[in-house]
A and B are shown apart, each in its own frame.
Chain A
Amino acid sequence: MKVGRRKFLHAGSAALVGLSLKTDRPIAGSFVNDSFQMGHLLRDRSSFPSARRIEKFPVVIVGGGIAGLCAAWRLDKRGFSDFVVLEMNPQAGGNARWGENEITAYPWAAHYVPVPGPKAAYVRELFEDLGVLKNGQWDERNLCFAPQERLFLYGRWQDGLEPAVGLTQKDREQFQQLEDLFAKFRASGEFTIPLELGRSSRHQDLDRLSFADWLQQQGCNSRLVNWYMNYACRDDYGALARDTSAWAGVHYFSSREAEEKGPLTWPEGNGWITRRLLERVGENVRTNQMVHRITETKRGASVFAGDTEFQCEFVIFAAPTFLAPYLVPGFPGLHDFIYSPWLTANLTLERLPDSRGAEPTWDTVFLDSPTLGYVDATHQSLSTHIERTVWTFYWALADGTPAENRRLLLDKDWSYWKEAILHDLERVHSDIRQCVQRMDVMRMGHAMIRPAVGSVFSAERRRLTRRDTRLLFANSDLSSISIFEEAQYHGVRAAQTVLDNLDGHR
């Protein structure tokens, strides 16, 4: 019956639209930065060329994302530059890659870093080095400008993302109840960033149930509360609350001090940090280098990429950890590493779409949308007059299993996703089709680690953080959450371990 009515409405509106003779402009675009072909070569155990050349470095870093680049940054900063970073993609940065066109630079994935708290010492050190933090003051130009976030609900806008319009007494009570609970968890000092510094077994039982079950145990049945909790899980973990460990759900809300400063952000998102890191260590970074085998030797390890064997003393494995069984002969299979598939799109807008009278904000979210909304790349521009912009659209494919959604990403063509994205935006910006000039879509099958039930305290994970081997793992997935601070923490820690042991040798 629902379908019948919808069809009728479509026919009716088509008749009216027919009178106005509006035509949609053609939208250019394609899939970009696809990397699954390379991944599938590894998965299918394809044959790779045998080594014809040998290069020697004391340290090889596998993976040029934030973890790898920050490991490199640490080595370089401590005066050690005899290392190489091998990146599979044509562009370094991983989840902090960026793009640029004639209008602005824009992010391809991660687009902000919350103002780091006192525990995130390495992040603070990095930002001091990059000039973002000077004499204890954050550079205002790198803090997110106002207005920051807005949520579209019931045909109107509200400031901020936590629903605040049309709440019943019950909704309000449950939001308050959770806020009080999260404040207690925060006060316990166990939900920290980096996660490793605070985590203790006291709240380990939270890791044994899903966040959705935990919410239910607290009696949270408000639709808006559940929407918001699910939004948070989709946003940071690419998963629904029912697929997220309650410990991780609590961590999202309890790990940061509530402060007004707003996150650090740039037009190209965390791509700005990648750029600054590449200015420092770019000479040591080699792109288009797909590592296909890592073997441990008597005095170190060999890393095979293309037809080159890199002989080294230490390998920092900063690529996603799930690749290890495919690269390291004899490496045990991994069970606690589940990744969420994502889709991002950059929309080049020829003019600013109708936004129902509201001024543009940094982050825009629609209530009850399966997507995560979009971020405006020119928001951090100092200009007062902006005519064109780029929106980065985020979509964590959270509903269904990761495997199903990876298949969907591979099966559907570009226009399918283009239409789906426009359809979502049209709910609010009715003239969006007249504004979009280009839409490039990036598919990521293993975009971010998912803190599934049991993964925060997983024994498998703990084993991989051992520091007494020649193969040191450093990806943020060791923490079971995919955020900048964790990637940077593990990268720096691995680099420091290498430095300590190299020093020991010499």
Chain B
Amino acid sequence: MGILLFISVLLVAACGLIYELVAGTLASYLVGDSVFQFSTIIGTYLFAMGIGSALSRYLDRGLVYRFVWIELLLGVIGGFSSALLMMAFAFTQGFELILYALVMVMGVLVGLEIPLLMRIVRDRYEFREVIAHVLTFDYLGALGASLLFPILLVPRLGLVRSAMLFGLVNAGVALWTTYLFRTRLSGTRSLRVACVVVLCALGVGMAEARRITATAEDNIYADDIILARDTRYQHLVLTRFKDDLRLFLNSHLQFSSRDEYRYHEALIHPGLAAVPTPRHVLVLGGGDGLAVREILKYPQIESITLVDLDPEMTKLFSTHPMLTKLNDKAFLSPRVHITNADAFPWVEGNTESFDFIVIDFPDPTNYSLGKLYTTAFYRAAARHLSAQGLMVVQSTSPMFARDSFWCIAETLKQVGLETHPYHVYVPSFGEWGFVLASTREYTPPVSLPSGLRFINVEGLSALFQFPPDMAPLAMPPNQLNSQVLVRMYENDWKDVSH
């Protein structure tokens, strides 16, 4: 019986530590600042254990009976603690209050356990043996739990089910105790029924854990994330706040539905409206269809070829009702031809020519994307320009990344193109820039399609004026073998975010 008893001590100690770790980890995940969370939770927990120990002196009769109840209570509270905390975070304002209240209650109960156990076994052993055995197994249990938790439990079971598993252990110890000490207990039948009820409840909880987590998570991101998807190429997140729809690719904002018309009208019309008779248009990037929506405002255009890397992106913007509403079902037009391909090899391999080319790639945040901003790329793209052709390039912010903007302009100039940089204000982006490039003289258009909300003929010439804080800088061109732009861009934005 001795060893069985001490195994209970070990299990009980493990449970106590697991609940503490669950609370600390969950608080770190949800609120952040793990150092603060773990420190305060461990402190509160130990303090509560002290209270439990102090309170143990007031229990003097029916120790085994009370121990069984404490185990059951801990099983329920500890076992459901993780689910409870997630719900509290998702559905209430008082996460911290509930967190620390729960930690206090569990701490008090855990604090009661060891003193009670010691007193239960004290008539069997000498005092010094009781202390030695109980504490030895107590610490062993703690070691086991602290290793199991990060290595097996969190990765395999997750926080909700880990807590429930140890709730089951607590309830199991309770049931086991009713057998171990049956001679010293009365009313064992009702105790065992209670144990079985708790075990069943936790068992059901284990089985339903996924649904509990899902319910809570839905609410944590309430109304915010409409869609989050890891495609083969990127992490795509669509959020909504009231009437504002926002798309993030790899955490970079692509557009906000409130002001994207400013960006896309500015991207397309100063160039396209200046092409005498545009028939064929090429869009590189732009898988959201918003640039295509603007291009479709020209009835004389016969074909629009869109080359975007990610088929999931173009499919989403062809089918999702909120998104097709935003791009006016641009991708469903018979004039639009979508190709899912890597732009540089496509441009190298294709021989068609176009009257207007839109280059709308993500900013050059790494060397891979940087390839799409090089003299080699622009040289290859310019070969597709027809005699009347114009090319427009999304060129990041001339305000926040002034070096980068003028580097892109210089790169286009290096391949023998005439460049016409311009900029607009897009509230969700800030000041944003584009470069028009052509093999012939460019004059701003004198008429525009009707129904534009931002660009008008009178305001056009102002776009090409750069105030002193965005004025041209002498920059080296970006080439495949130097890729100066990537470092430049990183430095530019570093300066902004500090």
Contacts and interface: CB of A to CB of B under 8 A. Distances in A.
A494 B422 CA distance: 59
Interface in B353-373: 366-372
23 contacts: A19-B151, A19-B152, A20-B151, A140-B375, A140-B379, A140-B481, A141-B376, A143-B479, A143-B480, A143-B481, A145-B371, A145-B480, A145-B483, A146-B480, A147-B483, A359-B366, A359-B367, A382-B371, A382-B376, A384-B309, A384-B343, A385-B309, A385-B368
The 5 A-B residue pairs with the shortest CB-CB distance in the complex, in nearest-first order: A146-B483, A382-B344, A143-B481, A140-B376, A383-B342
A386 interface: yes
Contact of B344 (A19, A262, A383): A383
A387 B368 CA distance: 12
Interface in A252-269: 260-262
Nearest to A20: B151
A227 to B, nearest CB: 27
B481 A261 contact: yes
A382 B348 contact: yes
Contacts of B374: 140
B309 A262 contact: no
A160 to B, nearest CB: 14
Contacts of A260: 482
Contacts of B370: 146
A350 to B, nearest CB: 14
B42 to A, nearest CB: 25
Contacts of A439: none
A232 interface: no
Nearest to B147: A19
A71 B152 CA distance: 66
B338 to A, nearest CB: 17
Contacts of A143: 479-481
A352 to B, nearest CB: 11
Nearest to B374: A140
Given A141-B480, A384-B342, A384-B344, A147 B367 contact: yes
A157 to B, nearest CB: 14
Contacts of A146: 367, 370, 480-483, 486
Interface string A239-283: 000000000000000000000111000000000000000000000
B299 interface: no
Nearest to B343: A384
A144 B232 CA distance: 27
Interface residues of A, number: 21
Contacts of B348: 382
A385 B483 CA distance: 17
Contact of B345 (A147, A262, A382): A382
B29 interface: no
A383 B309 CA distance: 10
Contacts of A19: 151-152
B371 A384 contact: yes
Interface residues of B, number: 27
Given A140-B375, A140-B376, A385-B309, A145 B368 contact: no
Q: Is the interface of B mostly helix, strand, loop or mixed?
A: helix
Residue of B368, B369, B479, B480 contacting most chain A CB atoms (<10 Å)? B480
Given A140-B374, A359-B366, A359-B368, A385 B482 contact: no
Nearest to B341: A383
Nearest to B481: A143
B310 to A, nearest CB: 9
A146 B367 CA distance: 7
A97 B284 CA distance: 37
Given A140-B375, A146-B367, A359-B367, A385 B233 contact: yes
A146 B343 CA distance: 19
Interface in B365-394: 366-372, 374-376, 379
Interface string A190-210: 000000000000000000000
Contacts of A384: 309, 342-344, 368-369, 371-372
Contacts of B372: 384
Nearest to A146: B483
Given A145-B481, A262-B481, 16 more contacts: A140-B376, A141-B376, A143-B479, A146-B367, A147-B483, A148-B481, A260-B482, A359-B367, A359-B368, A382-B342, A384-B343, A384-B344, A384-B371, A385-B309, A385-B368, A387-B232
Residue of B369, B376, B479, B481 contacting most chain A CB atoms (<10 Å)? B481
A384 B233 CA distance: 10
Nearest to A261: B481
Contacts of A141: 376, 480
A383 B367 contact: no
Nearest to B309: A385
Interface string A372-415: 00000000011111110000000000000000000000000000
A148 B367 CA distance: 11
Contacts of B367: 145-147, 359
Nearest to B484: A146
Contacts of B375: 140
A387 B344 CA distance: 16
Interface string A334-367: 0000000000000000000000000100000000
Nearest to A16: B151
Residue of A20, A382, A383 contacting most chain B CB atoms (<10 Å)? A382
B483 to A, nearest CB: 4
Interface in A405-431: none
B253 to A, nearest CB: 20
A145 B366 CA distance: 13
B312 to A, nearest CB: 13
Nearest to A361: B367
A385 B372 CA distance: 12
Contacts of B482: 146, 260
A147 B481 CA distance: 8
A140 B309 contact: no
Contacts of B371: 145, 382, 384
Contacts of A386: 368
A383 B370 CA distance: 11
Given A382-B344, A382-B348, A385-B309, A140 B479 contact: yes
Nearest to B310: A385
A148 B480 CA distance: 11
B436 to A, nearest CB: 23
Contacts of B152: 19
Contacts of B345: 381-383
A502 B316 CA distance: 71
Contacts of B342: 382-385
Nearest to A383: B342
A262 B484 CA distance: 14
Interface string B267-291: 0000000000000000000000000
A251 B345 CA distance: 39
Contacts of B309: 384-385
Interface in B27-62: none
A198 to B, nearest CB: 27
A382 B343 CA distance: 9
B412 to A, nearest CB: 15
